[in-house]
């Protein structure tokens, strides 16, 4: 039986609940717990950015009057990509290594 662990305190309530469910459902080693914590943080960051975009709009106007994407759009995208990569590293689906989609430009 594994010892009871707690999720990082900075996580949202929803991310803490998800963290606990994954920790309870899998036999995670310390390095997996770190990946799980980083994935939960990335998810929270994406949600924070999404809330900003929802409140402010997808586009902002700069000091020259030009429309440009809201900076939180980039934050959300980067956090979602990081979440997906961390989840792939955790491999919670127990998918074999060969089942992963190869990176673009990779020959082997």
- Could you tell me the pTM of the whole model? 0.81
- What are the boundaries of each domain within the chain? 29-93
**Residue in this structure with the two tokens 């809201």, named with its chain if needed:** 70
Band the pLDDT of 46: cuts 50, 70, 90. very high
pLDDT in tens, 53-76: 999 999 999 999 999 999 999 999
pLDDT at 1 over 80: no
Average pLDDT, the chain: 89
Query: Residues 51, 79: contact at Cβ < 8 Å?
Result: no
Return the sign of the alpha-carbon dihedral for residues 53, 54, 55, 56: positive
């Amino acid at each position: 039986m594994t010892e009871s662990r707690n999720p990082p305190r900075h996580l949202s309530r929803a991310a803490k609940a998800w963290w606990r469910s994954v920790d309870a459902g899998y036999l995670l080693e310390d390095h997996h717990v770190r990946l799980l914590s980083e994935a939960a943080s990335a998810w929270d960051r994406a949600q924070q950015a999404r809330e900003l975009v929802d409140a402010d709009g997808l586009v902002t106007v700069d000091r020259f009057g030009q429309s440009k994407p809201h900076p939180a759009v980039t934050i959300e995208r980067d956090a979602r990509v990081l979440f997906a990569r961390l989840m792939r590293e955790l491999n919670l689906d127990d998918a074999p290594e060969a089942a992963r989609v190869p990176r673009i430009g990779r020959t082997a």
